[in-house]
Structure 1
Amino acid sequence: MSKYYYIFVLVQLTSIFTQHHLTEKQKSNRLILNFANPILLVYYMDLTYHKTKIKNLLIMLCITLKKVYNDLDVETQMIRKGGSFTTIITGWPKVEDTSLLASVVRIIIYVTWWIFMTRVTAILTLSIVLTALLSHQYKNLQSYFYSLDDIFQADDAEVNHEEKELKYIEALKIGFKLHSDTLWCTRQCQEICSVLYSGQIIVNVYVLCVVMLQVVNTERTFVNTVTIISTGVATLTSSGFIMWNAGDITFEAALVPTAVFSSGWHHCRGATSARVRRLLITAMIRAQKPVTLQGFGIIAISYKSYISNLRTKLQMANDQARVELCQEYWQHFPVESSFFSPSDAVSVKCFVVTILYFLCFLFLYLIIYLSDGSFTTVITAWPDVEDNSFIANLVRVLNYLVWWALMARVSAASTLIIITSIAISHQYKNLQQYFYSLNDLFETDVQRKHDEVETKYVDALKVGIQLHSNTMWCTRQFQVVCNVVYSGQITITVSALCLLMLQMVGSERTLSNALTIAATMLAVLIATAMIMLNAGDITVEAALVPTAMYSSGWHNCRGATSAKVRRLLVVAMMQGQKFTVLRSFGIVEISYQSYLSIVKSSYSGFSLLY
């Protein structure tokens, strides 16, 4: 059945080339759906790929964690929580075709579209259910820790205070294990829903911008107003259901340390009190780290980001409205433009969508590039550009050979930087798996004495801490080696983007020039992204190491070994929680956020120069 969805989306996209006699409403519908449906199809593909992880995650959330402790009130809360028709424009039949065959094909297309949207709705519903389960599991965890205080409050004359303390410590360890498992579920949810969150953000930003442009361009009748408002509200509501439930996870996870603190530890006395306080410090240090789901690896899915995205959409629509007003103003002047003429605004938008989804336009660019002979030559002091003598041409050939040899070295250096950064980030990931695997020592070696397993665990933990120290040493060495490369790359990127933007404003607006500038800008951004995003992976993976340490099974140790292990973990986790980031110029962070900042800075520099 999946192959029919691919054919369906492809038939929609081909309408860009075959359907030319559309109304403005139909063009707007095609513009939205041709952009949104391929991304929605990715949702289905991605969750199909992760179906095993989804199954394991649901079993963990709904069965395994609930076996240990389940607050019925929280479960009840979780259970309770819980326009105009847009036509589909395809490559065939044409909108003017009213024959019986065309009508039958349209019915089949609509049925396929509804089945497709049913799958997408099921996927979005699944993501909402997962986030609701996670947020209420954190709430359930809070209730569990609060309930531990009842151990000491119970009026049971047959149980003395020392027995209550032992019962409290065992229950506290179970709570820490539940917290560790819930964090694992959160990581699995992030991995499963990452593509969905990223795609949802793109679709919502795009759809709302198009809707706001419709407000500016369409006739302001009652029907059009109701249609636009209902579409905007539906988009905001669907985005809100996803982002709000994900935001609940961050909110509820942040309350867990307070619940741990209120679990009744102050009732313990003597040596037991000291032991409990050390347990609580280790657990609360980890619990106080913010728990967030992210889109694109950098955008936090939360209440705050929902408001931020809405403001971004309003700002983009406002900027586009200003551009259209300027275009309307320049229509009164005899300025020729063969590509971005104001009368072809919709065609230009469709052309941009076509570029995004059809990489074959790069081949078109290559043909134009070769036919124009627009090769950027290497300008040297001699020979002059007008000199066409044999010696001048021979010198130019030598110059090009030297230039290509130089660029080969530069490419080799950049490749080495990328390979090294990938190796370091995967070493941090490998380190995480090592610490997670330590918990298996207590679960698999059940035939050994507990003291022998503890000794083996302590030795393995020391090996892991040494590995972590060595990995951080590698990171520092990499920073020293690559500082100049990162600094130079940022300088080149900002300068190149500013110059390309100035060239875009100053050059003749033809198809050849537009494609040349766009391809060059894309190449610069990709080259920089390959370096900066891989370096950003180091920061992301290094930040996950303390979580792996926390989940290594330390709560299974007892007595003097437990105290020894907690001291080791506190020191190691405090070091692991320090921000690991590569820098250029000694101050500019090389990360996902800085990559976006560089692009914004380039545009700001262009605005200042222009």
Structure 2
Amino acid sequence: MDARRNDVNPQKYYVKKLCKIIYFMGLGDCWYERTEQSRMQKILYAIWATLINSFIILNTINELLAFLRTDLSVKEKNDSIQFRFAHPCLCGKYIFLVLQKHRIRALFERLLEASRSVYTVFEVEKRSVWQAKLCCLVLAASSYCTLLFTVVDAIVGYFTQGIKIRTEVVLYPTPAHSGLLINLLRLLIEVHWWCIVTNMILVDCLSSVAMVYVAHKLMIVKLYFQNLRQKVISNIGKKSDLEIQKEYEMDFITGVKLHKDALWCAKNIQYALGNVYSIQVFESITLLGMCMVKMAKIDINLTFILANGLYLVCVVIITGVYFSSAGNITYEAYEVHNAMFHSGWELAHLSPASRAVVLVAIQRSQVPVFLTAFGVVVLSHNNFISVVRASYSFFAVTY
């Protein structure tokens, strides 16, 4: 029944790599294992983190103040409004990541280490890593394709309308400013968007990976109880009733502990990363509506359709990854209840006291497990459609 593989931990390896990239982007250390660093390394990293985060935040403020300009075109005004909603949300995601680092460390330490020595299924772990990589690939590809086509749209605008190439609308510099230093500043502003989106992708990847791993952790608990029934059946006729009873009681208690550990992880995802989910839901409803307003009001061309359409698709994909991954947690938690009920307790000739323990455990497993945004919006497969509909309602009211 037991598929123990403690020599390799593919989940841990992948999360460690992801946390290392987050560290190099200046967002701090989210990994739970201590890394020895010299005093000079700590000082240099503190300087780098201060520089990159100051650059991102100051340029975001520069975008927020763009409404003070009087020379904006219609397209620039619409882009400015969109950026004033989008980019503070992106900053908010990784700011919450920085603030919740201690909880994120505790979450991954228990998720990856706590019960793995007791029971695991290596094939399920590998499948979870594959699914996590797929989610990250989709998030990165959709985001960077959107940025690429936005740059292409800006280049086309330069050749067709004479508008200086820009992807972000800022207070300073304006098209009237010129010079080598001004052009260098414009280049840094273009780099800013790629940096802020990279940070967003890393936060979204870490969040989705945590949800994927928790769903597969619950799947392993389900398989444990399913295999427990097979073990009881195989022991009938080979062992005495008393031996079967004692062995089942010990195995069932182990399963309850595995279930408790998985529920702790699901609960603490909400504490550690719940603010990120909430920002994503707010961002989805507002930005999808704004993109539809832009397409309805502005004279469009092929590159604009591609850039804005990919932006819409990107926001939908990011939101869909969150809702789908969280919905899988709810589904797998429900499946544990069925597996626990059919774990073979009726074949093990349990005492009344042991049956009472089984009954309490089954009742506990029936409590729904779900993640929420703002403590109200349940992240599920069905509610993903509701969020998309709310975005269209926002567009209909605005337009």
* TM-score, normalization by structure 2: 0.75
Among candidates 13, 38, 44, match of residue 88 of structure 2: 38
Please list every run of 5 or more consecutive structure 1 residues that lacks an aligned counterpart in the other structure.
322-610
Q: Which residue of 2 aligns with 1:297?
A: 375
Q: Is the 8 A contact 2:232 2:347 kept in 1?
A: yes
- 1:173-322 correspondence runs (5 A): 173-269=253-349, 272-321=350-399
Instruction: Name the amino acid aligned to 1:64.
Output: A
My pick for the range that moved more, 155-164 or 50-59, is: 155-164
1:10 to 43, 61, 69: 61
Question: What CA deviation, in whole Å up to 9, does each residue of 1:237-263 have, x standing for no partner?
Answer: 111111110111111111111010111
| Contact 1:265–1:276 (8 Å) recurs in 2 | no
Residue 156 of structure 1 and its aligned partner are, at CA, apart by: 8.6
Measured against aligned partners, the alpha-carbon deviations of 1:257-288 in whole angstroms (never above 9, x if no partner) come to 1010111112122xx25334322221121111
State the AA in 2 paired with 1:300: V
Write the distance in 2 (CA, Å) between the matches of 1:104 and 1:222: 30
| Alignment correspondent of 2:162 | none
Distance 1:116 1:129 in 2: 20
1:38 & 1:220 partners in 2: Cα distance?
27
**AA in 2 matched with 1:69:** Y
- Deviation (angstroms), 1:105: 0.3
Query: SS of the residue aligned with 1:91?
Result: coil
Residue by residue, what CA displacement relative to the aligned partner does 1:280-332 show, whole Å, maximum 9, x if unpaired? Answer: 221121111111111111111111111101111112212333xxxxxxxxxxx
Tell me the residue number matched to 2:111.
61
Tell me the distance in 2 between the aligned counterparts of 1:202 and 1:11.
22
Counterparts in 2 of 1:104 and 1:125: CA distance versus 1, 3 Å: same
The amino acid across from 2:252 in the alignment is L
**Structure 1: distance between partners of 2:175 and 2:364:** 60
The one of 100, 113, 130 aligned to 1:80: 130
| Distance of 1:41 and 1:220 partners within structure 2 | 29
The one-letter code sitting in structure 2 at the alignment partner of 1:85 is T
By how many angstroms is 1:228 displaced? Answer: 2.7
Superposition RMSD in Å:
1.9
Aligned position for 1:108 = 188
Per-residue displacement from partner, 1:83-120 (whole Å, max 9, x unpaired)?
Answer: 32261122211034343222100112222332232222
Deviation digits for residues 10-66 of structure 1, max 9, x if unmatched? 12212221x322233322222112212112212222111211111111111111122
1:135 correspondence with 2:215: yes
- The amino acid of 1:44's aligned partner reads Y
Q: Indicate the larger mover: 97-106 or 150-159.
A: 150-159
Give the number of equivalent residue pairs: 318
Residue 182 of structure 1 and its aligned partner are, at CA, apart by 1.5
Question: Is 1:29 paired with 2:79?
Answer: yes
State the match for 2:101 in structure 1: 51
User: Which residue pairs with 1:448 in the alignment?
Assistant: none
Distance 1:289 1:159 in 2: 35
Unpaired runs of at least 5, structure 2 = 1-49, 133-145, 152-166
Aligned to 1:146: 226
Q: What amino acid does structure 1 have at the position aligned with 2:309? A: I
1:328 maps to what in 2? none
Distance 1:227 1:113 in 2: 15
What amino acid is aligned across from residue 304 of structure 1 in structure 2? N
SS at match of 1:69: coil
Contact 1:247 1:303 in 2 (8 A): yes
Gap change, CA 1:210 and 1:195, over 3 Å in 2: same
- Using the TM superposition, give the Cα deviation of residue 157 of structure 1 relative to its aligned residue in structure 2, in angstroms: 7.2
Q: Which has the larger radius of gyration?
A: 1
- 1:359-401 Cα distance to aligned partner (Å, 9 max, x none): xxxxxxxxxxxxxxxxxxxxxxxxxxxxxxxxxxxxxxxxxxx
Aligned residue type for 1:21 = D
1:151/1:164 contact within 8 Å kept: no
Give, in whole Å, the separation in 2 of the partners of 1:5 and 1:52. 23
Q: Distance in 1 between matches of 2:284 and 2:193?
A: 19
Q: TM-score, normalised by structure 1?
A: 0.50
Is the partner of 2:125 in helix, strand or coil? helix
Look up the equivalent residue of 2:268 and give its one-letter code.
Q
Secondary structure of residue in 1 paired with 2:150: coil
> Which amino acid is 2:330 matched to?
T
- The structure 2 residue matched to 1:164, chosen from 244, 259, 280, is 244
8 A contact 2:235–2:244 mirrored in 1 = no
Q: Name the structure 1 match of 2:23.
A: none
